[in-house]
Structure 1
Amino acid sequence: MRQAMQKSYSGDEFGVVLEIIRNHRANALVSVNVEHMLTNWEIGGYLSAKIKHEGWGKSTIDNLVDYIHTRAPSERGYGRSNLYSMVAVYDEFTSPDFTALVARYGNRIVQPLAGQFEGKVIQPVTGQIADLPDLQPRAAQIIPMPDVLALTTFTNIVEILNRTRTAHERLFYIVYAFRERLKKMELRRCLVNDTYSSLLGGDKKNFSKALVASYPDSPVLFRDSAFVDFLNLPEKHSEKRLRRGIVSNMKDFILSIGKDFLFVGEEFPVKVGGTEFNIDLLFFHRRLQCLVAFELKARNFKPSDMGQLEFYLEALDRDVKMVNENPSVGVLLCKNADRSVVEYALSRSMSPAMVAEYKRLMIPKDVLQETYDRYIGMGESKGGAQ
């Protein structure tokens, strides 16, 4: 009888309890981060005013460090270097350039994105800081913290500040770190490899029309250059060495192409007729809900390469793709690619495909603004990262 009663309860009913636990845990993590950011922001604002108007210097800051350690020995993170970082963060993110960007993009970023955390709905950060009187800056001259800073950690904010030069870059990396849930070392790699330029730059002529039509967000989800410096490849190397190096360093490779990629397999077999063919690397893209085939070429791009890639996509869509999944995407990853040749090769392609290079490619900053606007505003229509 007791066993029969237990079977009457559904997993969905029990799942409600687990959902409550997860949602409140997410809220707690966000609240802790907001409090930590506000603490450092207020300290930075207070010290900034003292340094600028009352002549506080290195010796005074050292005395402050000793004072904190003596009276609150359990407190950590308030050494001289960290205190100066708080001042630098406060000064930079109250600058006219950054303030103007926040005025332009702030609501578009914080409102759609801050209500998402690991896929669980939480209370938005925006408004909380201003609405809670006990969180208000204690000194009248301290400017309130922009809500957007609470989207990532203070450690990430300092990393961004130290490795970028413009307000546009800083706002981009704050949003990028939030959307991709980057930790410090992951973010540092993105900063060193200039993800800002790689992800946003150019007119994306290396994307087929079918790819952009099927997946409008693909220009900001798929990078046109992958950074594989971690493979230590010699100038002359084989596709086999390239493939094995990627598989052996899969975490770094996925970080270089985008965190929504899930690795499926190496030399993935597809059988057509009586012949078996092998796809170099096969991934699944979580956000786009589709298979992504990578074909590797340790040489310059050739137009004939597209025929092979499109053949693989057809095989995947016919025989591998699940009914609920979207059409497969192909990425031709090569050593070098002449942009004109790529554009011609893709101009009549009916497959969602692109050509990318596995080397660093610097892109002029003056071509970034239009795509920047689109990237920052992605959460407005999509509801943030899924």
Structure 2
Amino acid sequence: MTEQFTEIVTLIKRSQYNAQKNVNIEMINLYWQVGEYIHQKIASASWGESTLEELALHILRKHPELKGFTRSNLYKMRQFYSSNIPYLEKKSTKSSGNQQEIVSTLSRQFTDIRNTLLVRVTWSHHITLMGKTKSREESEFYLRLSVQENYSVRELERQIKSSLYERVQLGQQQSPISRERIGTDENMLFRDKFVFEFLNLPENHDEKDLRHALIRKIKDFIHELGDGFSFIGEEYRVTVGGTDFYIDLVFYHRDLQCLVAFELKTTAFMPEYIGKLNFYLEALDRRAKRAHERPSVGILLCKEQNSEVVEYAINRSLSPTIIAEYQTFLPDKKLLQQKLHELFEEVE
């Protein structure tokens, strides 16, 4: 009987989610069309900038039941339309039919964006994109990433603050890959650099400080890693030959269906780190891995790495070990933007 109740609850929640999703689609489409109307009126000199204040007061006095149409929000709707025109030039089509007009008595028709990515995020996402990105390309990058990874507004803001767009463009980091595209390729899944600015660690810290800081901020850490990780334990114990060994952090990855061991090092990469991590992976596979699971994956987080040293170290290693760098402080965004600008100039 309980199982049947659970099915009913699931049905209710699914219906509520779909209803909320449809409400968001209609709202974003409406805000676009209001922005389009305002933009066209001002562009044709039919309206002045002060008209938005008059419109907001008219709605407030004559239609108080209509919420959210303040002067500030009307300006944002206009900005939303004008800033996204390049994105929709090849994707959108003019709507047709009376149901797609803002007011039935208006003779002109408005752009329908209900089949675009723009309606796949919330209005708060769009306000963040308009306020915190510097170009249409950067905004579109974060829009696609938010849809792909189902980012909250807070996570979107954190990725923008961490200069993810600039780092990807400069080749310092791979663009995050969605579950549908990665399949079971570990090297496509794991980023080769992580930004752990949320830890607020001092410059001189040891592995214990790093591990404890990660545990305190485990939610943000998982967000930085990407989707699919589930936390298993800190200082995870494996016993071999009667001796206990402790792995810094162990996760399970749902898509890969394997355990993921993290070895934390606050120094530059050293070849001997590989042997220790391989030992841990072998112990996990023999002592903890279940029959249906794939071989465990190891990730070595070092303060920095030398590509040639890494190549020599892992050349004979059979374990799917990923050598990764971590950064405890954000890269300088202005410097990254400058480098990105210089890179584009070279290409041109």
Same fold (TM over 0.5): yes
Cα distance in 1, alignment partners of residues 171 and 76 from structure 2: 34
1:157 aligned residue (126, 132, 140): 126
Does structure 1 retain, via aligned residues, the 8 Å contact 2:42–2:49? no
Do structure 1's residue 297 and structure 2's residue 265 form an aligned pair? yes
Determine the C-alpha separation between the residues in 1 that align with 2:287 and 2:165.
Answer: 37
Matched letter for residue 72 of structure 1: H
Aligned ranges 1:305-316 → 2 under 5 Å: 305-316=273-284
Q: Is the 8 A contact 2:235 2:249 kept in 1?
A: yes
1:260-300 CA-to-partner distances (Å, cap 9, x unmatched) read 22211110111111111111111122232222111110111
Work out the CA distance in 2 between the residues paired with 1:184 and 1:10.
36
The one-letter amino acid paired with 1:147 is T
Change (3 A) 1:201 1:15: farther
Partners of 1:325 and 1:187 in 2: CA distance:
33
| Cα distance between partner residues in 2 of 1:165 and 1:153 | 20
Corresponding residue number in structure 1 for 2:14? 23
Give the deviation of 1:317 after TM superposition: 1.6
**Could you say if the C-alpha distance between residues 88 and 309 of structure 1 is closer, same or farther in structure 2, counting changes exceeding 3 Å?**
same
Contact 1:283 1:293 in 2 (8 A): yes
CA contact (8 A) 2:100 2:112 kept: no
Shift of 1:33: 1.0
**Percent of paired sites with the same residue:** 38
> What is the Cα deviation at residue 68 of structure 1?
1.8
Residue 19 of structure 1: how far off its partner (Å):
4.3
2:99 pairs with one of 122, 134, 146: 134
Query: Who is 2:37 aligned against?
Result: 46
The reply to whether residue 351 of structure 1 matches residue 340 of structure 2 is: no
- CA distance in 1 between counterparts of 2:82 and 2:263 reads 47
Aligned-partner Cα distance in 2 for 1:235–1:162: 32
Distance 1:290 1:170, change over 3 A: farther
Conservation of the 8 A alpha-carbon contact between 1:214 and 1:352: no
In the TM superposition, residue 190 of structure 1 has moved relative to its aligned partner by 1.0
**For residues 273 and 248 of structure 1, what CA distance do their matches in structure 2 show?**
32
2:232 is the alignment partner of 1:264: yes
**Alpha-carbon deviation of 1:131?**
8.6
Equivalents in 1 of 2:245, 2:112: separation in Å?
Answer: 60
Matched, 1:191 2:160: yes
- Which structure carries more relative contact order (alpha carbon 8 Å, separation 6+)? 1
Aligned residues: 325
Q: Which amino acid is the alignment partner of residue 73 of structure 1?
A: P
Partner amino acid, structure 2, of 1:60: T
Identify if the C-alpha distance between structure 1 residues 29 and 344 changes in structure 2 by more than 3 Å, giving closer, same or farther.
farther
1:68 is matched with which residue? 59
What runs of 5+ residues in structure 2 fail to find an aligned partner? Answer: 175-181, 344-348
TM-score (norm 1): 0.74
TM-score (norm 2): 0.81
Q: Distance in 2 between matches of 1:133 and 1:329?
A: 57
Q: Which residue of 2 aligns with 1:342?
A: 310
Q: What's the CA shift for 1:173?
A: 1.9
- Equivalent residue letter for 1:346: I
More deviation, 175-184/304-313: 175-184
